[in-house]
Structure 1
Amino acid sequence: MYSSIGFQDQIFFNFKLVYFYALFCILHLFQYLQFDMLKFLFSILFIQFILCETSIAQTDWSKQLDHYISKRDEIDAAKKETIKNLLKDLRFTREEKNRDKEFSALMKSVKAYEYFVYDSAFKYAQAANLLAYRLKDESKIAESKSKLSLIMLLKGLYTSSIDTLNTVEYQYLSKDKRKEFYSTAYRAYYDLSGYSRDKHYSEAYKKLGHYYSRKLIDEFPKPSFEKVLGMALQEMVSGELSKAENHYFDLLNNFKLNDHETAIVTSGLGFIYSDKNESEKAKEFLMRASIGDIKAGIKETTACRSLAELFYREGDIDKAYQYILLAKADADFYGSEQRKFEISYTLPLIESARFQKENKQKKMIGLISLLVLTFSLIILRQLQKLRQARKEIVNSNENLTCVNELLREASRIKEEYIGYYFNFSSQYIDKLEDFKKSISRQLMTKSYDNIEQELKKYNPRNERQRLFEDFDRIFLKLFPDFVKRFNQLFDEKDRIVLKDDLSLNTDLRIFALIRIGVTDSEKIAGILNLSVNTIYTYKTKIRNRSIYPNEAFDLKVMAIKSV
């Protein structure tokens, strides 16, 4: 029965979920684009949504009503169990053939069924009436007829109810039963007055209702529920809503009421406040009436239908639909034609509004989904661009770091070797200067033999070896791990083993020169005093021994770090 309500809640939940996701996407995009004004507008939308959520928060009475709605089946089951026990008692009295007890058991069964299931209530009321006639007991006949009249009234059979009422000889009724009779009578005429479309008949029925309510008031001066209720109804149908309100509050505050009586009183207050357009109070008391009906297991009720109509007028279609379904379920369960007729006017209006709302929500969800998809694609594209830009920045930073490292290394190499060059050149110039002076002196003294001895002292091979040693020393200062890292490019058997850790051999010198940027074979050959072919031969032989391909080998050599 309530599955459609769950579906409605699910739609609303999905709607909120999509709505929040859409707003999140928009915010994310706005943050990325740094649109301050759009961020402000988003904040306004978000606050508006939260306020909207707060405005539809349930009241305490609404929560209580929802709680008791969830307990309806348990309450009804308990009532059915009570009725089951009453029917057992009825069967027992019939087996005893004690007619007085049987009549009492029948009336108890009627009482249990009268606001619960019409067919059963009518069945046992008829049985009680037939038994009363068999017993020829005027009091029991009047009592059973009065009860039959009430049950037909609850069914909506006004003519039959009043016809039966008119046959009741209520002078035979006890005081309590006579109060019940008067209550049934004024209620029947007041209800008929309200439903009659003919003003003449409506006024006539109203007068008859007043007649019976006054009889109850006059005959029973002591305050009672039936008496004060009659006074309240009399004022209501006369348009004296404030006076009726006072009577209802008198009942509510000064009488010990059961759940059913509480439902009757609060329902009356709900109708008064509804007529006064005080919708919040009307909803509160109609909710309280609905709670009382559920707790008492009452199925013949108007509170839920009236509550549904109030929520419908206020535009709360979900609540209206929930309560009209509840009212319809009660009317169907009881079998009240009048309540079914009343609901048949309201239910199509609420269902139509609900259908329109669902369509709007579906369209809205579709629109928001489209917006979400659009913004998601935009955000995705922007994120892709952002990732690409970040990747390029990272690559640029890596390249810049690499370039800076190379520049630092080149600067260090230049610093070391330029310093060495100036020092070496200065020493060489000093040596040449001394050599020149010595030769000049020898020439002046014509000591040609001494000149020859001086010339023999100069050994280019030793000078070049000293140059290599200085180069090795400076290079190993810059690249202390060069030999170790270079050897890692070969198998164990092909690795170079040096006699002196402070000098390089020709193989290592060639690639040391390449590492500091001297890659031209002619220049390398000139520096090392070797032929170009020899340099090529060395390079090829060394590369072929490596565990890496030639290109990879060269890259590995260039990757050896300086300090």
Structure 2
Amino acid sequence: MKVFTLAIVCFLLPICAHCKHQQDSLLAVLKKEILKQKIYDTRKEQKIERLRNQLWRTSPYDLERQYLLCDQLYWEYKNYIFDSAHVYTKRLIRIAGHLKHLPRKYESQIKLGFIQVSCGMFKEAFDGIDQLDAALMPNEVKFRYYQLKTQAYTRLSMYNTNKFYSPVHQSESMIALICAIQLSAPHSFERFSLTAFLYHNMDKDNEAAACYRKLLRSDSLTNHQKAIAAYNLSNLTDQTEKRSLITISAICDIRSSTKETFAIFTLAQLLFKEGNIEDTEFLLKEASEQASFYGNKLYNDEIITAMRALKADQQIRSESRKNHTLTALIGILVTAIIATGIIFLIVYRKLQDVRRREGFVNEQNRQLDLLNKKLSEDAIIKEEYIGYFFQVVSGYIRKLEKIKRSSEKMIRQESYKELSEIAKGIDIKKERTSLFHTFDKIFLKLFPNFIKSFNALLKEEDQIIPKKTEVLNTSLRIFALVRLGIKDSQTIANILENTISTIYTYKFRIKSRAIVHAEEFDKRVMEIKFNDQEKRADNP
């Protein structure tokens, strides 16, 4: 099984032949293809434009050529844009009526039914089917008629799972499926695909999988046909091969500019179950864009529901991280204390070395002067925040002691209602807001000109001014932490109780509006002077 899948990968994706992990390699190729999809879509648009120009130049009396060109435009739009496909099927029906050609009229109505089913317009599709008489159709049109009925009843049974109606729809689907197989061309894609579907409905998944594998070994399939075969086969295989096949299907959909597809959405669901949130979000967004582009509102609503579930999961994860923020901050401050002790120890040893090496006094003093400036800044910053740390912790200890005494008293008195009121009165959100507010005040005490210096790096219309109720806002606070030396985005996200993607977005948005390059911007932020340096600059 795995050897067969690898053979497909090598056939479709030669650039991945040397990759160690097949699934990750396929996913990487898919993401590259998504970034390149404008190239494939442009080719399709160019082909469509050529056909439209030919149709525009066709004589209004040449109905045969009009029908041929509209039919070609239908096939180009069928899995690309619903509205355009709908327009040309309606036009095909009108032209067939003018030609008084009943088989063509039936064929055009069947084409309309296919795109209606793809968008969940079951009532309209079945209304159209009821107007058709299979007895008056040639075999080729009759085959499409039964193929449409198979697809319509199958999808309806998937959406309408009522125990009374679903079996009826499945039965109608099986009857139409058998008729379609009998009318399909031997050894054709349709014959193998429909036969595989019949086996699957008969619980003969091994035989069904064999049909799809035989199709995928064929060199004559289009990208769209490969996508269909790979996707259907994925529903019959184990979890490992399933993801690879769905990814292959999604790649083929991109290359064929197929917007009416389930592969990318299904792959996103698999990645979500695996915990790959970043790629899940990327693929769900792509699936939503494709569904919107095609015009499938029903499918797009399903994707939006999945995106909401993803956001809810991210919110749960975020709340879990927020609960550890205070602990992380205390850990950082304790680390700062240790680091300060180490730094002072290093300075002491350096000074002792200077005394022992009188021959290098001048050079050593020059270097120590530069080092002391940096150490002085670090020491002042750490001194402020260490004091702040002890003040916050002491305050929390006093609050805990007061709550403990009150709780013990109320437990003894069995005053559980008052005890519940005490618990409700603990406003964690307010405490966190107070924490950030105090942080901002201490930071501006150390860097009083930070906002002015920071805005000097931005265009005038993009400068950031905190509201009257704020000391610093989120954008300024992120770069305040950077100025303090906390450059890791994950650490900043934990401290500010945001996701890492939000921190990246803030940084990117601000740097894109800067008057200097991104690398120079970071350097300029780190060069913003703190209070003591400014005083020395004013009083040399």
Q: What TM-score comes out, normalization by structure 1 length?
A: 0.56
Q: Which whole-Å CA distance do the structure 2 matches of 1:384 and 1:345 have between them?
A: 56
Q: Does 1:319 align with 2:279?
A: yes
Counterpart residue number, 2:49: 84
Change (3 A) 1:80 1:363: farther
Q: Does 1:193 align with 2:193?
A: no
**Conserved 8 A contact 1:142-1:172:** no
Within a 5 Å distance, the mapping from 1:524-563 to structure 2 comes to none
Q: State the 1:184 CA deviation.
A: 2.1
Deviation digits for residues 351-387 of structure 1 (CA, Å, limit 9, x no counterpart): 2223444565677788667645542442232132133
Q: Between Structure 1 and Structure 2, whose CA radius of gyration is higher?
A: 1
* Count of matched residue pairs: 341
Q: Which whole-Å CA distance do the structure 2 matches of 1:177 and 1:370 have between them?
A: 75
Partner AA of 1:219 in structure 2:
L
**Conserved 8 A contact 1:287-1:303:** yes
Change (3 A) 1:366 1:282: farther
Q: Which whole-Å CA distance do the structure 2 matches of 1:344 and 1:371 have between them?
A: 40
Partner AA of 2:122 in structure 1:
Y
Change (3 A) 1:68 1:159: same
Q: State the 1:155 CA deviation.
A: 1.4
Q: Does 1:147 align with 2:107?
A: no
Q: Which whole-Å CA distance do the structure 1 matches of 2:185 and 2:23 have between them?
A: 43
Corresponding residue to 1:294 among 241, 254, 275: 254
Q: Does 1:307 align with 2:267?
A: yes
Counterpart residue number, 2:9: none
Within a 5 Å distance, the mapping from 1:205-284 to structure 2 comes to 205-220=169-184, 222-254=186-218, 256-273=220-237, 278-284=238-244
**Conserved 8 A contact 2:143-2:183:** no
Partner AA of 1:310 in structure 2:
L
Q: Which whole-Å CA distance do the structure 1 matches of 2:90 and 2:240 have between them?
A: 43
Deviation digits for residues 238-273 of structure 1 (CA, Å, limit 9, x no counterpart): 443333222211211246210111111111122333
Deviation digits for residues 487-506 of structure 1 (CA, Å, limit 9, x no counterpart): xxxxxxxxxxxxxxxxxxxx
SS of the residue 2:131 aligns to? coil
Corresponding residue to 2:300 among 319, 327, 340: 340
Q: Does 1:386 align with 2:327?
A: no
Partner AA of 2:33 in structure 1:
Y
Q: Which whole-Å CA distance do the structure 1 matches of 2:305 and 2:201 have between them?
A: 23
**Conserved 8 A contact 1:170-1:178:** yes
Corresponding residue to 1:110 among 74, 84, 93: 74
Deviation digits for residues 6-52 of structure 1 (CA, Å, limit 9, x no counterpart): xxxxxxxxxxxxxxxxxxxxxxxxxxxxxxxxxxxxxxxxxxxxxxx
**Conserved 8 A contact 1:180-1:226:** no
Deviation digits for residues 439-462 of structure 1 (CA, Å, limit 9, x no counterpart): xxxxxxxxxxxxxxxxxxxxxxxx
Q: State the 1:293 CA deviation.
A: 0.9
Within a 5 Å distance, the mapping from 1:326-475 to structure 2 comes to 326-357=286-317, 371-372=331-332, 374-392=334-352, 395=355
**Conserved 8 A contact 2:82-2:294:** yes
Q: State the 1:74 CA deviation.
A: 1.9
Corresponding residue to 1:160 among 124, 131, 153: 124
Q: Which whole-Å CA distance do the structure 2 matches of 1:150 and 1:81 have between them?
A: 25
Q: Which whole-Å CA distance do the structure 1 matches of 2:39 and 2:56 have between them?
A: 26
Q: Which whole-Å CA distance do the structure 1 matches of 2:215 and 2:340 have between them?
A: 67
Counterpart residue number, 2:520: none
SS of the residue 2:128 aligns to? helix
Counterpart residue number, 1:469: none
Q: State the 1:114 CA deviation.
A: 1.0
Q: Which whole-Å CA distance do the structure 2 matches of 1:354 and 1:329 have between them?
A: 21
Q: State the 1:396 CA deviation.
A: 5.8
Deviation digits for residues 471-523 of structure 1 (CA, Å, limit 9, x no counterpart): xxxxxxxxxxxxxxxxxxxxxxxxxxxxxxxxxxxxxxxxxxxxxxxxxxxxx
**Conserved 8 A contact 2:288-2:303:** yes
Greater shift, 70-79 or 163-172, is seen at: 163-172
Change (3 A) 1:187 1:216: same
Higher relative contact order (CA 8 A, sep 6+): 1
**Conserved 8 A contact 1:179-1:226:** no
Q: State the 1:165 CA deviation.
A: 2.1
Q: Which whole-Å CA distance do the structure 2 matches of 1:365 and 1:291 have between them?
A: 41
Q: Which whole-Å CA distance do the structure 1 matches of 2:42 and 2:339 have between them?
A: 57
Change (3 A) 1:251 1:369: farther
Change (3 A) 1:164 1:292: same
Deviation digits for residues 69-106 of structure 1 (CA, Å, limit 9, x no counterpart): 0011222122111111111121122x352011111111
Within a 5 Å distance, the mapping from 1:472-483 to structure 2 comes to none
Q: State the 1:67 CA deviation.
A: 1.1
Counterpart residue number, 1:71: 36
Q: State the 1:302 CA deviation.
A: 0.7
Change (3 A) 1:386 1:365: same
Where structure 1 has 5 or more consecutive residues not aligned to the other structure, the ranges are 1-53, 400-563
Q: State the 1:227 CA deviation.
A: 1.5
Q: State the 1:143 CA deviation.
A: 0.9
**Conserved 8 A contact 1:183-1:226:** no
Counterpart residue number, 2:27: 62
**Cα RMSD after superposing both structures:** 2.8
Change (3 A) 1:356 1:121: same
Within a 5 Å distance, the mapping from 1:40-51 to structure 2 comes to none
| Percent of matched pairs sharing the same residue | 21
**Conserved 8 A contact 1:143-1:177:** yes
SS of the residue 2:301 aligns to? helix
Change (3 A) 1:154 1:220: closer
Partner AA of 1:352 in structure 2:
A
Q: State the 1:393 CA deviation.
A: 5.5
Partner AA of 2:284 in structure 1:
I
Q: Which whole-Å CA distance do the structure 2 matches of 1:379 and 1:55 have between them?
A: 42
Q: Which whole-Å CA distance do the structure 2 matches of 1:370 and 1:300 have between them?
A: 52
Q: Which whole-Å CA distance do the structure 2 matches of 1:318 and 1:359 have between them?
A: 18
Change (3 A) 1:145 1:221: closer
Partner AA of 1:335 in structure 2:
G
Q: What TM-score comes out, normalization by structure 2 length?
A: 0.58
Change (3 A) 1:397 1:126: closer
**Conserved 8 A contact 1:107-1:128:** yes
Q: Which whole-Å CA distance do the structure 2 matches of 1:55 and 1:320 have between them?
A: 22
Greater shift, 351-360 or 246-255, is seen at: 351-360
**Conserved 8 A contact 2:144-2:180:** no
**Conserved 8 A contact 2:26-2:248:** yes
Counterpart residue number, 2:100: 136
